[in-house]
């Protein structure tokens, strides 16, 4: 990570200037007093401590401690982080089209962008990156590697990778180009073709999100008109979408709501953070039945969209309760190409609820909003909704999970490494490929040969506690009885691969497909076994149930 300096005089001048705009006299005096004390303390430590400290690090520790007393979203960005933030906001950068990350202690390619130089030359997820521009990556983190890969469009960068199944490292000369990371990663038709239900997956909210979503919907509408079926239903998939730009969320909600409809309200400490947002444009789909898919990783701007559509009874919300981030951040530029992302307000859905699920205390700790403090509100049709806990779905549905086993396999990068192993022995994807029982069994044997899966189930942990409490309480629980319980738990543990076959197969299929097909095709294939999507299609296909779900007599 690139280092940056804040000379103490410049910092104090900046803080004093900011403090000059604080309103009440008491606050102004307290801020000036604290700034003076902080500056003197810093100066004395930096110049007089027995061992000369790193002055820059000393200041950064102080700033980090201040930020730690707020919330996780109020952060200071250095130059590299500021650049990454700008890329995420614009969705465009000069690069070769790969994402990298640590897997099992190795720097590997985690994704390849369709249409990039990396995709054209055959780099694929799972390749271990050995060097960039001849420089070994030992001790480098992913952010540092990505900063080297990015650069002026038209320039080249040398990349060396190791691929399982290849005797020698592979070398590439990749051409940087102006890349756009699309927010709509897949749009197409789902379910029974005769039903005419379209699907749009939105991954994030950057500057082009609303335009891309509108274009995807209009394309589906035109295709439906051309084939005679029409667009008779739409699924908007916001699962895993962490949010982004608030104005894009307002515009996307406005694609389905009447013009000038309230979408979200910001309320903060200062007058400039008090603002109400309404849909500015005429809707693209004012009355087509709509379902929105959400999960526990749908946050912030995703919750603005889902909350507005739920409060106006415009869409059924399907899936899992959302993350619960009702805090609004603004980015304030600071000297030396740094920036402060600062929480300035909370946002409220049209019914008046704040969906923030966590309270951040002055000591930096966090506490969930208790049920006793959650208030009830009403949608336009009179349906009950509550604040303080994200957006609760109208139709609960989940992909399911593999429990502790799947978590342990993910932590050890087992799915990722097995996909590399599979691709090394299958040069092409077998015709009719599916993640069946035979593949799962091969994965189980491979994982055991690799050293097995190190995890403990909830039952094992509970048994340990029970055995200890029985012993402490003086009960006559013999070793044989406890051993018998442990044997039963072990038997159940060995059966975890069979018990959780569904989610394990789904993850295997997703990882293996990523080695052979582009991102869009991999996403489309993943929809073939998607319980929340099936639940949404079931409701959209039953007009009576759809209307009842959105009425005050519907069940939640």
Query: pLDDT (tens digit, 9 = 90+) per residue, 522-539?
Result: 888 888 878 899 999 999
Nearest to 89 by CA among 294, 314, 331, 274: 331
Instruction: Give the C-alpha separation, 541 to 195, whole Å.
Output: 7
Per-residue pLDDT at 89: 61
Residue with tokens 């092409």: 428
Lowest average pLDDT, out of 1-10, 286-295, 472-481, goes to: 1-10
Instruction: Give the C-alpha separation, 440 to 495, whole Å.
Output: 13
pLDDT over 60 at 4, yes or no: no
Instruction: Give the C-alpha separation, 439 to 436, whole Å.
Output: 5
pLDDT over 70 at 396, yes or no: yes
Selecting among 117, 300, 351, 447, the annotated active-site residue is 300
pLDDT over 80 at 40, yes or no: yes
Q: What is the mean pLDDT of residues 321-346?
A: 90
Residues 58 and 43 sit within 8 Å (Cβ to Cβ) = no
Q: What is the mean pLDDT of residues 265-283?
A: 92
Selecting among 127, 311, 313, 496, the annotated active-site residue is 311
Per-residue pLDDT at 553: 60
**Encoding tokens for residue 505?**
């197969």
Instruction: Give the C-alpha separation, 353 to 348, whole Å.
Output: 5
- Highest-scoring range by mean pLDDT, 14-18, 288-292, 329-333: 288-292
Residues 299 and 307 sit within 8 Å (Cβ to Cβ) = no
Instruction: Give the C-alpha separation, 348 to 327, whole Å.
Output: 10
pLDDT over 80 at 482, yes or no: no
Higher pLDDT, 58 or 23: 58
- Known catalytic membership, residue 311: yes
Q: H/E element holding 534?
A: helix 531-540
Higher pLDDT, 77 or 172: 172
Instruction: Give the C-alpha separation, 170 to 161, whole Å.
Output: 5
pLDDT over 60 at 162, yes or no: yes
Confidence of residue 13 (pLDDT cuts 50, 70, 90): very low
pLDDT over 80 at 399, yes or no: no
Confidence of residue 143 (pLDDT cuts 50, 70, 90): confident
pLDDT over 90 at 209, yes or no: yes
pLDDT over 90 at 490, yes or no: no
Nearest to 261 by CA among 273, 271, 252: 252
Confidence of residue 475 (pLDDT cuts 50, 70, 90): low
**Encoding tokens for residue 513?**
């497909």
> Phi and psi for 108 in degrees, rounded to 5?
-130, 160
∠523-526-528 over CA atoms, to 5°? 125
pLDDT over 50 at 5, yes or no: no
Cβ atoms within 10 Å, residue 373: 10
Where helices occur in 254-402 by DSSP H, the ranges are: 301-311
Lowest average pLDDT, out of 13-17, 117-121, 220-224, goes to: 13-17
Per-residue pLDDT at 85: 61
Cβ atoms within 10 Å, residue 554: 17
Beta bridge partners of 236: 200, 292
Instruction: Give the C-alpha separation, 419 to 510, whole Å.
Output: 9
Confidence of residue 87 (pLDDT cuts 50, 70, 90): low
Tens digit of pLDDT for each residue in 351-365? 999 999 998 887 778
∠150-155-159 over CA atoms, to 5°? 65
Per-residue pLDDT at 6: 45
Residues 109 and 124 sit within 8 Å (Cβ to Cβ) = yes
- Domain architecture of the chain: domains with CATH: 8-68 (no CATH), 92-180 (2.30.42.10), 184-399 (3.90.226.10), 403-529 (no CATH)
pLDDT over 90 at 366, yes or no: no
∠214-218-224 over CA atoms, to 5°? 150
239 CB-near residues (< 8 Å, 6+ apart): 293, 294, 295, 297, 298, 319, 532
Residues 96 and 116 sit within 8 Å (Cβ to Cβ) = yes
pTM for this model (two decimals):
0.78
pLDDT over 90 at 307, yes or no: yes
Per-residue pLDDT at 7: 43
Instruction: Give the C-alpha separation, 131 to 145, whole Å.
Output: 9
- The packing angle between helices 55-68 and 8-19, to 10°, is 30
Half-sphere exposure (CA, 13 Å, Cβ side) for 29? 3
**Encoding tokens for residue 353?**
């609820």
**Encoding tokens for residue 222?**
């035109």
Parallel, antiparallel, or unpaired for β 197-202 and 275-278?
A: unpaired
Give the Å distances, CA to CA, from 343 to 66, 74, 76, 349.
14, 6, 12, 18
pLDDT over 90 at 471, yes or no: no
Confidence of residue 134 (pLDDT cuts 50, 70, 90): confident
Confidence of residue 2 (pLDDT cuts 50, 70, 90): very low
282 CB-near residues (< 8 Å, 6+ apart): 259
Selecting among 209, 325, 351, 447, the annotated active-site residue is 325
Q: What is the mean pLDDT of residues 124-132?
A: 90
435 CB-near residues (< 8 Å, 6+ apart): 505, 506, 508, 509, 512
Report the chain's mean pLDDT, rounded to a whole number: 85
Q: H/E element holding 136?
A: strand 135-136
Report the percentage of the chain scoring pLDDT > 90: 39
Per-residue pLDDT at 459: 65
- Known catalytic membership, residue 64: no
Per-residue pLDDT at 18: 45
Residues 501 and 414 sit within 8 Å (Cβ to Cβ) = no
């Amino acid at each position: 990570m690139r280092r940056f300096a804040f000379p103490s005089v410049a910092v104090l001048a900046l803080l004093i200037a900011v403090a000059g705009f604080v309103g009440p006299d008491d606050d102004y005096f307290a801020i000036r007093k604290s700034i003076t004390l902080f500056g003197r303390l810093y100066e004395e430590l930096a110049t007089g401590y027995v061992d000369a400290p790193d002055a820059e690090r000393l200041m950064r520790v102080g700033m980090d401690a201040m930020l730690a007393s707020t919330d996780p979203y109020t952060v200071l960005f250095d130059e590299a982080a500021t650049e990454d933030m700008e890329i995420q906001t614009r969705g465009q950068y000069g690069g070769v089209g790969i994402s990298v990350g640590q897997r099992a202690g190795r720097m590997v390619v985690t994704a390849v962008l369709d249409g990039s130089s990396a995709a054209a030359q055959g780099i694929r997820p799972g390749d271990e990156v050995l060097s960039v521009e001849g420089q070994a990556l030992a001790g480098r983190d992913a952010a540092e590697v990505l900063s080297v890969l990015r650069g002026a469009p038209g320039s080249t960068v040398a990349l060396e990778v190791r691929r399982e199944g290849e005797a020698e490292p592979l070398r590439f000369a990749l051409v940087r180009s102006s890349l756009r990371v699309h927010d709509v990663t897949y749009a197409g038709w789902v379910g029974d073709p005769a039903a005419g239900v379209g699907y749009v997956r939105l991954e994030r909210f950057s500057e082009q999100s609303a335009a891309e979503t509108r274009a995807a919907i209009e394309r589906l509408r035109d295709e439906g008109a051309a084939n005679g079926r029409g667009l008779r239903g739409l699924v908007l998939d916001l699962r895993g979408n962490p949010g982004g730009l608030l104005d894009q969320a307002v515009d996307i909600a406005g694609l389905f709501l009447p013009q000038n409809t309230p979408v979200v309200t910001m309320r903060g400490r200062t007058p400039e953070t008090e603002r109400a947002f309404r849909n500015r444009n005429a809707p693209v789909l004012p009355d087509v039945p709509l379902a929105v898919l959400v999960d526990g990783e749908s946050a912030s701007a995703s919750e603005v969209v889902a909350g507005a559509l739920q409060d106006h009874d415009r869409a059924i919300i399907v899936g899992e309760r959302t993350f619960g981030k009702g805090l609004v951040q603004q980015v304030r530029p600071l000297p030396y190409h740094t920036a402060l992302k600062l929480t300035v307000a909370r946002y409220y859905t049209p019914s008046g609820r704040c969906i923030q699920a966590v309270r951040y205390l002055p000591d930096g700790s966090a506490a969930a909003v208790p049920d006793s403090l959650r208030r009830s509100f009403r949608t336009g049709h009179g349906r009950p909704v509550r604040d303080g806990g994200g957006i609760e779905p109208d139709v609960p549905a989940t992909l399911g999970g593999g429990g502790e086993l799947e978590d342990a396999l993910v932590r050890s990068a087992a799915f990722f490494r097995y996909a590399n192993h599979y691709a090394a022995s299958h040069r092409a994807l077998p015709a009719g490929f599916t993640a069946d029982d035979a593949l799962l069994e091969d994965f189980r044997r491979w994982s055991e040969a690799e050293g097995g899966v190190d995890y403990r189930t909830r039952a094992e942990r509970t048994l340990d506690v029970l055995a200890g409490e029985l012993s402490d309480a003086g009960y006559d629980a013999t070793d044989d009885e406890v051993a018998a319980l442990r044997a039963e738990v072990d038997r159940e543990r060995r059966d975890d691969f069979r018990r959780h076959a569904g989610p394990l197969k789904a993850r295997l299929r997703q990882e293996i497909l990523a080695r052979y097909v582009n991102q869009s095709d991999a996403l489309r294939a993943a929809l073939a076994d998607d319980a929340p999507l099936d639940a949404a299609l079931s409701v959209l296909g039953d007009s009576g149930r759809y209307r009842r779900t959105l009425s005050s007599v519907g069940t939640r």
